[in-house]
Structures are given as C-alpha cells and as structure tokens.
C-alpha cells in the first residue's frame, strides 16, 4: 500500500498534435480522499489513465514511495494495489452481475481450481446490501441500465479491496439516495488507510467528500488545495476561469396544446412481469415535464417504448397528433429529438468520426446534406454542418475527421445534444442530458433546455438529479415500480417530498397530532 503517489511533469500528446496534458505534477497521499476536477477535456481522465497504465505518458514519470514505476497496463497497476472505475463501462454482457464482480479474483477450491460459486454469490450480495444498490446479482449484465452497470463496476473494485481506488465520475449514474451510502463507504475506506482518487463535476460532492482538490484547466495544473479552504463559486472559477451561475431564470408561462402523450402504456418483461403499468403522461408546448424515480423503476422502459426499441403490450404513444405506437424509428425521428443516457451504447458510434456522429439522422432527413436525391453525402455541406455544431455548442475537438472516442466524455455529450437540438423537432426527449458535464457545460445545457421551452417546444426530462428537475421542470411526475404515483407542480413540491415518493411510492404519512 503506497504512502505517496507522485505524478511528475506528465505530458500526454495524442496524434496528430493534441496536447491533453501539459507538464502536470501532483501528488496523492495515503489515507486521503483527493478530488480531480476541471472542465470537459481538461485532462482529468487522461491523467488517471496515465496513472493506471491505460495510457503511456509522452513525458514525465509516476513514482510510488519515491521509486519510479512504469505500468504496462491495468494488470500491473492492480498488482501494485491500484484499481480504477472508468466512465466507459467494461462488463461481460453475457455474464450475470456476480460473475462480473468476481471475474479475475474468483474464490476457488481443489487442485483444479473449481469456482466456489455459492461463496462468490454470497460475497457479492453482501456488498450489494452494504451499499443499498438494489441490484440482482443473478441478472444478466447486458440487460442492465447504464446506472446499474456503473454500480457493478464500483463493486468489482470494492470486492478486490484495492489500496488505491480511482473513481471517474462515480456518482454520475447514482440516485440522490444512493450517493450518501457510497460516500459513507469511501470514508470508511479512508479511515482504514486506503487512498481514494475521484473525478467529479458535482462541486457540492467534491467539497463535502474530499480532503484535497486538484484543478486542471486545458491540460495544465491550476491548483492543489485543501477542500476546506474552498467555496463552490471559488472552485468553479478555478475550473472555468470565470464566474459560473448555479441558477437559471425560469419564467412563468402558460403552456400550449398537448404535443406528446402516452396513454395506458404497458410494458412487460420476458416472463410476463410488468415493467410499466397503465402509464398516462403528457407534455404541452412550452413545458418541461420532469420524470423522477429511483433507477430501475421503469425509466428505461418508458424511453424504449417512446423510441420504438420496445413494443408496448398495450397503450399508445402520440407526438404532434400522430400515433407513433408502432411506427418505425425513422418515422419517429421526423417528429422527436432524443438524447440517450448511454452515449457509448446508444447515442453514438465511438469508432466513427466526430462528423459521422454529428450527421446521424440528419443525413437521412436533411436534403441539404446530400446529393443525387439522397444517395450521396455532400462532403462540403457535412463539414460545414459539423463545424457549425462545434461552434454553437462549444465542442473542444481537433478536427471533424477525428474519431469520436478521441473526445472527452463531456464533449461527446455536447455533440450528441447539439445534433439532436439542431433537428428542430416539436418534442425533445432528454434522458440524463447533463450526465458527465462540467459546471460550465451544465449551465449552458440548462439554458438551452429553457430556451427550447420558451420557443414552445415540449420537453420530457428524465434525470436522477432532483436539483436539476426542480431547476428546469414545470411539472414533476414520479415513477415507482413502473407506475406514475404522483404529479406535482415544481414550485408546490419539495426535494424531500419527491424523494420520499421515489422511495416509498406514496406520500409521507401525516404527522400525528
């Protein structure tokens, strides 16, 4: 267990000449919780990948207790007690949860190394219960939502009891109720002498949890300071180099006609278990409706039914007066825009270029981007479109031809959001649209959502962030076990009330006289 980790003069250059890290030096001490923060593309994840052996440094060195080390890969890092949970989720889809957690560290017995499955399953269940993660250890990993998959990634390292735990946006997919449980476990690990390094865009969490904070900006080290000496505005200013507004002005306005509705929607899982039951929901022009719920209570099924990825057992989906219940996906895309919660698996193609990702859907529906009756892409128009999206949505990228995976997670999300908003549709479905975005980018996205509302668009916003829902939504509905159990005007509700409804599916009992 290293007492001191030093990153000395780390520089990382990606081809052709993208400087992701520029002479960064920082140290991490045993038994501390150390946050690394910065804007999207500031170099946070790259720095952690250099430490973990996933990316070789162009220059500089890593030292453990004063001795230089060069990890050839994550296996070397794990052998030295370092473990990392990535933004990119790395699970075996065909395996159940418990097998993914113990993979590579399975309890075995006998000369043939026979897997002690019952012991492994019990150990994983104990970890799930300790965190209150609401996971089925025997569920197939490929069937899980992105939030559930992230929880499995966290459990993998906690099961291994690594000495240095590196967490890249660990709370981005957790519900407000699950975050305190994770933080309590991280503090317990710190008290036992383990080192926690974590990347986060949630500044309240950074200040609440960390002992020290390192700030990166545009690949350079800006500051390392005690968390107790910082305020939220001061930390945001270090990150983005300007003052950041943490509130937006949502003007009161009367919504117009119903643009989007689901009526009596029922979705069943294989085996006949109900996942959505008689869901009634509508969104009017000039209105943002927020959907709150603990992960796994029907949000994913609602999104899939709206987008045509799941065929409902009963009920209807209508947009702008058109029945889209059984319409093909391309027909739906003529009437709605969609930002997925999982950009890596649904919202984008990581192997394709930035330009190709920016053009998705547009190339089928925008004649200005094609020639010969839609048979041939107009490369000049496509280039101009991508550069326009880059400028309008402040995407930090090398060139439109660069691979999409070369972008930071936040800049990937900006491309997807920009692509969908530029479709100019009457209904916009947003599933966790600010997940993984820094404070400056989140401020911008929030302003864009309210701009759409003010333009008369109908917006359905699914978010695990209750503060975001209260900031943006006119109405909030609560999903619990596949049913809408409550609807509240945002100004007439409280975070505590909505949180209780999410957990219990009913209002809190009146206090006794």
| 406 secondary structure, DSSP code | G
> What residue ranges do the domains of the chain occupy?
4-240, 248-335+425-507, 345-424
Distance CA 298, CA 302 (A): 6
Report CA 307 to chain centroid distance, whole Å: 20
Q: Which residues pair with 322 in a beta bridge?
A: 319
Euclidean distance between CA atoms 239 and 201, whole angstroms: 10
For residue 45, the SS3 value is helix
- Give the model's pLDDT for residue 512: 44
Token pair, residue 449, equals 């959502």
- Residue 513 has a pLDDT of 43
What three-state secondary structure class fits 259? strand
- What is the C-alpha separation between 44 and 21, in angstroms, rounded? 9
Question: Which residues are CB-contacts of 15 (< 8 A; sequence separation ≥ 6)?
Answer: none
The CA R_g of the chain, rounded to the nearest whole Å, is 23
* pLDDT attached to residue 177: 66
What pTM value is reported for the model?
0.71
Residue found under tokens 């002498």:
193
The answer to whether 4-240 and 248-335+425-507 have equal CATH topology is yes
d(CA 247, CA 470): 11
- pLDDT for 175: 65
CATH superfamily, domain at 248-335+425-507: P-loop containing nucleotide triphosphate hydrolases (3.40.50.300)
Interior/surface letters 430-453, b for 16+ CB within 10 angstroms, e for the rest: bbbbbbbbbbbbbbbbbebbbebb
Contacts of 56 (CB under 8 A, 6+ apart): 50
Q: Give φ, ψ of 87 to 5 degrees.
A: -65, -40
- Domain 4-240 - what CATH class? alpha beta
Nearest to 339 by CA among 385, 383, 393: 393
| Residue 403 β-bridge partners | 353
Nearest to 304 by CA among 335, 287, 329: 329
What is the per-residue burial (b if ≥16 Cβ within 10 Å, else e) of 157-182?
A: bbbeebbbbbbbbbbbbbbbbbbeeb
Q: Return the half-sphere exposure (C-beta side, CA atoms, 13 A cut-off) of residue 154.
A: 30
DSSP character string of 179-239? HHHHHHHHHHHHHTT-EEEEE-S-HHHHHHH-SEEEEEETTEEEEEEEGGG--HHHHHHHH
Cis before 16? omega within 30: yes
Instruction: Return d(Cα 457, Cα 255) in angstroms, integer.
Output: 10
Owner of token pair 């910082």: 230
- Whole-number Å distance between alpha carbons of 490 and 295: 21
CA dist., res. 424 & res. 247, Å (int): 26
Separation between Cα atoms, residue 238 and residue 234, nearest integer Å: 6
User: Could you list the pLDDT tens digit for every one of the 513 residues in the chain?
Assistant: 789 999 999 999 988 778 899 999 999 999 999 999 998 778 998 999 999 999 999 999 999 999 999 998 888 998 898 989 876 677 899 999 999 999 888 887 777 667 788 898 999 999 888 877 778 999 999 888 766 787 888 888 888 878 899 998 887 666 666 678 778 878 888 998 999 999 988 888 899 999 999 999 989 999 999 999 999 889 988 988 876 655 666 777 889 999 999 999 999 987 778 899 999 999 999 999 999 987 778 999 999 999 999 999 999 999 999 999 999 999 999 999 999 987 777 889 998 999 999 999 998 888 888 887 767 889 999 999 999 999 988 888 889 999 998 887 778 888 998 999 899 999 999 998 887 777 777 888 888 899 999 999 999 999 988 888 999 999 999 999 999 999 999 999 988 899 889 888 888 764 444
- The full length of the chain comes to 513
Two structure tokens written together for 68 = 């230089």
Q: Is the peptide bond before 281 cis (omega within 30 degrees of 0)?
A: no
* Ramachandran angles phi, psi of 202, nearest 5°: -90, 100
Rounded to 10°, the helix 409-421/439-454 angle is: 10
């Amino acid at each position: 267990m290293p007492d001191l980790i030093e990153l000395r003069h780390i520089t990382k250059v990606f081809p052709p000449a993208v400087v992701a890290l520029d002479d960064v030096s920082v140290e991490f001490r045993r038994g501390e919780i150390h946050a690394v923060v910065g804007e999207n593309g500031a170099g946070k994840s790259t720095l952690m990948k250099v430490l973990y052996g996933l990316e070789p440094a162009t220059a500089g060195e890593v030292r453990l207790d004063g001795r230089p080390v060069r990890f050839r890969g994550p296996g070397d890092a794990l052998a030295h007690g370092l473990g990392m949970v990535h933004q990119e989720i790395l699970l075996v889809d065909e395996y159940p949860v418990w097998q993914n957690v113990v993979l590579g560290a399975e309890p075995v017995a006998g000369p043939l190394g026979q897997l002690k499955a019952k012991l492994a399953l019990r150990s994983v269940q104990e970890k799930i219960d300790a965190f209150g993660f609401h996971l089925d250890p025997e569920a197939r990993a490929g069937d899980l939502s992105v939030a559930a998959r992230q929880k499995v990634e966290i459990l993998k390292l906690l099961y291994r009891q690594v000495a240095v735990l590196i967490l890249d946006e660990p709370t981005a997919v957790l519900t407000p109720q699950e975050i305190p449980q994770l933080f309590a476990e991280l503090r317990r690990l710190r008290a036992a002498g383990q080192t926690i390094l974590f990347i986060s865009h949630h500044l309240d969490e950074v200040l609440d949890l960390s002992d020290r904070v390192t700030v990166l900006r545009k690949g350079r080290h800006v500051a390392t300071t005690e968390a107790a000496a910082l305020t939220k505005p001061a930390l945001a200013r270090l990150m983005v180099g300007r003052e950041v507004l943490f509130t937006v002005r949502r003007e009161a306005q009367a919504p117009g006609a119903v643009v989007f509705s689901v009526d009596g929607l029922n979705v069943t899982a294989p085996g006949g278990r109900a996942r959505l039951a008689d869901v009634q929901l509508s969104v009017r022009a000039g209105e943002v409706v927020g959907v709150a719920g603990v992960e796994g209570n029907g949000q994913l099924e609602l999104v899939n039914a709206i987008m045509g990825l799941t065929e409902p057992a009963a009920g209807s989906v209508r947009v702008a007066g058109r029945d889209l219940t059984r319409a093909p996906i391309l027909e739906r895309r003529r009437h709605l825009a969609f930002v997925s919660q999982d950009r890596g698996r649904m919202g984008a193609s990581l192997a394709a270029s930035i330009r190709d990702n920016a053009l998705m859907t547009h190339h089928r529906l925008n004649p200005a981007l094609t020639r010969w009756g839609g048979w041939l892409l107009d490369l000049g128009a496509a280039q101009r479109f991508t550069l326009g999206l880059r400028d309008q949505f402040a995407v930090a990228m090398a060139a439109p031809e660069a691979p999409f995976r070369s972008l930071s997670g936040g800049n990937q999300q900006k491309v997807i959001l920009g692509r969908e908003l530029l479709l100019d549709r009457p209904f916009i479905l947003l599933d966790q649209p600010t997940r993984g975005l820094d404070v400056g980018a989140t401020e911008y996205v929030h302003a864009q959502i309210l701009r759409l509302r003010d333009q008369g668009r109908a917006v359905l916003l699914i978010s695990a962030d209750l503060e975001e829902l209260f900031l943006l939504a006119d109405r909030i509905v609560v999903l619990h076990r596949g049913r809408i159990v409550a609807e509240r005007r945002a100004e007439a509700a409280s975070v505590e009330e909505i949180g209780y409804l999410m957990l219990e599916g009913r209002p809190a009992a009146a206090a006794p006289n």
